[in-house]
Amino acid sequence: MATRRYTAVEKGKSIAHHPTEPTRKCIRAPDFDTSDLIKENALTLIGRVTNARAQPIDSLIASLPRNWILRGRVTGSGLGKSCFQFRFELEEDIRKVLANRPYSYHHWMVILQKREHVISPLFPSEIPFWIRLQRLPLHFWHEKLLWHIGREIGNLEDFQISKTSAKIRVLMDGLQPLIKEAVIDFDSGEELAVSLDYENLKSHYSSCFRLCHQASDCPFASTARYLDTMEKRRYREELTGDTRSSDGSPARPPPQRNDTSQAPL
Q: What is the pLDDT of residues 45-96, one digit of tens each?
A: 999 999 999 999 999 999 999 999 999 999 999 999 999 999 999 999 999 9
User: For residue 144, what is the DSSP state?
Assistant: H
Closest by CA to 185, choosing from 145, 216, 151, is 145
pLDDT band at 16 (very low <50, low <70, confident <90, very high): low
pLDDT at 22: 75
State the pLDDT at residue 118: 86
Burial (CB count <10 Å: 0-12, 13-18, 19+), residue 47? buried
The answer to pTM > 0.75 is: no
More confident site: 235 or 103: 103
- Residue 153 phi/psi, 5-degree rounding, is -100, -10
- What superfamily does domain 38-114 belong to in CATH? RRM (RNA recognition motif) domain (3.30.70.330)
Q: How many other CB atoms sit within 10 Å of the CB of residue 251?
A: 15
Q: Is the pLDDT of residue 141 over 50?
A: yes
| pLDDT tens column, 218-243 | 665 555 455 556 666 776 676 666 65
Q: Do domains 38-114 and 126-213 have the same CATH topology?
A: yes
CA–CA gap between residue 74 and residue 97 (Å, rounded): 11
More confident residue, 18 or 36: 36
Q: Where are the domains of the chain?
A: 38-114, 126-213, 219-249
pLDDT at 67: 92
| CB-based contacts of 213, cutoff 8 Å, min separation 6 | 51, 205, 263, 264
Note the pLDDT tens digit of each residue in 159-214. Answer: 999 999 999 999 999 999 999 999 999 999 999 999 999 999 998 766 677 887 66
User: 126-213 has which CATH code?
Assistant: 3.30.70
Whether the predicted pLDDT of 139 surpasses 80: yes
